[in-house]
Amino acid sequence: MQSSASPINAQAPRKPPGLDPAILASFPTLRFKASAAAPECAGCLSDFAAGDALRLLTVCRHAFHTPCIDSWLRAHTTCPVCRSDLDAAPAPAPRHEDPAAVAVDVECDRRGGAG
């Protein structure tokens, strides 16, 4: 007797883990500007230093060293700090005339401000 059910191993292909590389690339990168109280990267727990390359997650406004967050997002689709879903279309990148303005926003976020 033949079964009309599909074989067990004929399931739909699984989505690979992690964030789509196009979404990851859409998050802006910036250089950290030195400040009196340097926030730390939640990925490696090191303080940000002047000139460090950071990636800003525009959905929740958390920033990380670029290699730290890129490594995390190759296996996950959420922010490691607040668990915001990053798999949807990202919010538009902030528009600042002065790149230092972004560093100030990141510093405020890390001190417990919005985000």
Residue pLDDT, tens place only, 17-68: 898 998 888 899 989 887 767 789 999 999 999 899 999 999 999 999 999 9
Share of the chain above pLDDT 70, in %: 64
Domain CATH number, residue 85: 3.30.40.10
User: Is 5 contained in some domain?
Assistant: no
Number of domains into which the chain is organized: 1
User: Is 74 contained in some domain?
Assistant: yes
Structure tokens given for 57: 């997650």
Contact indicator for 37, 45 with CB cutoff of 8 Å: no
| Rg, C-alpha atoms of the chain | 19
User: Is 43 contained in some domain?
Assistant: yes
Domain span at residue 62? Answer: 27-110
User: Is 7 contained in some domain?
Assistant: no
